[in-house]
Structure 1
Amino acid sequence: MTAHHDEAEDAETYATFKELVNMTASQLHTWLDTDESREVGQKNDGGESVGHRSGRHIIDILGKKKADLGADDYAHMRKVNGYVKRHLAQRPHEVEHSHWRYSLMNWGHDPLK
């Protein structure tokens, strides 16, 4: 893989992330402090859910300048992009107070925005 390809892939990843993550760092931080946020998602060790941990990483990414993003940030953005796209395809009839919405919000996307 050439460096040019990596830069193009990173640029596409970043643009998609900025499109899909429609919550600000402040909104996401406030959301992650709610009981609803903590109640949803897969908990591998019985503690914090994968999505909740992802939300904390997203806040970190949103707080950085693009030039300061590292390979782990781009890897996480690709993970977020894939998760949000897959999850959006499973939209339920009732959205507002659904675990589906709450889970997406942990990943930085509020489908009601």
Structure 2
Amino acid sequence: MHLHPDDARAVRREFARLTNLTQAELRAWLETPQSKQVGMVRKGEHESVGRQSARRILEIRDTPNDDLTDADYAHMKKVIGYCRRHLAQRPWGEVADTRWRYSLMNWGHDPLKR
């Protein structure tokens, strides 16, 4: 899946835009009860897909651009797709304490953060 350099830059840029929680914010979020309450847990696993994704996001961000693998880019694209889909499904009204927001935060995006 080797990406053209322009495509790789575009993926990194959109990934950075959508994953708006800092490393410290994402790590702290993963320690909260709210983070642990949301998301789908695959059969035989103990942690939700979103929380697994958050750990992968932290790893990717700690990796220099030149060392990113095809698997890293595939995960960045997965995060971009998830965030875009869920942002498009924003519920009506106040979302601060909703499963919708908590799920997005497990994927590195806080919709209330400016």
TM-score by length of 2: 0.90
Report the Cα distance in structure 1 between the residues aligned to 2:66 and 2:20, rounded to whole angstroms: 21
Q: Does 1:66 align with 2:31?
A: no
- Equivalents in 1 of 2:71, 2:4: separation in Å? 13
What is the 5 A alignment of 1:32-111? 32-45=30-43, 47-92=46-91, 93-111=93-111
CA-to-aligned-CA distance 1:58-101 (integer Å, 9 cap, x gap): 01111122122111111100000000000000111231000000
What's 1:13 paired with? Answer: 11
Q: What is the root-mean-square deviation of aligned Cα atoms in Å? A: 1.5
> C-alpha distance in 2, partners of 1:44/1:84?
20
**1:24 aligned partner, one-letter code:** T
Q: In the aligned structure 2, how far is the partner of 1:47 from the partner of 1:94?
A: 30
Kept in 2: contact 1:25–1:63 (CA 8 A): no
Q: Deviations over 1:33-73 (max 9, x none)?
A: 11110110011125111001000000111112212211111
Q: What letter is aligned with 2:36?
A: R
Q: Can you give the 5+ residue segments of structure 1 that lack an aligned partner in the other structure?
A: none
- Aligned residue pair count: 111
TM-score, length-normalised on structure 1? 0.91
Q: Is the 8 A contact 1:40 1:103 kept in 2?
A: yes
Distance 2:31 2:110 in 1: 16
Matching residue's letter, 1:43: V
Using the TM superposition, name which of 48-57 and 9-18 deviates more.
Answer: 9-18
Q: Which consecutive residues of structure 2, in runs of 5 or more, have no partner in the other structure?
A: none
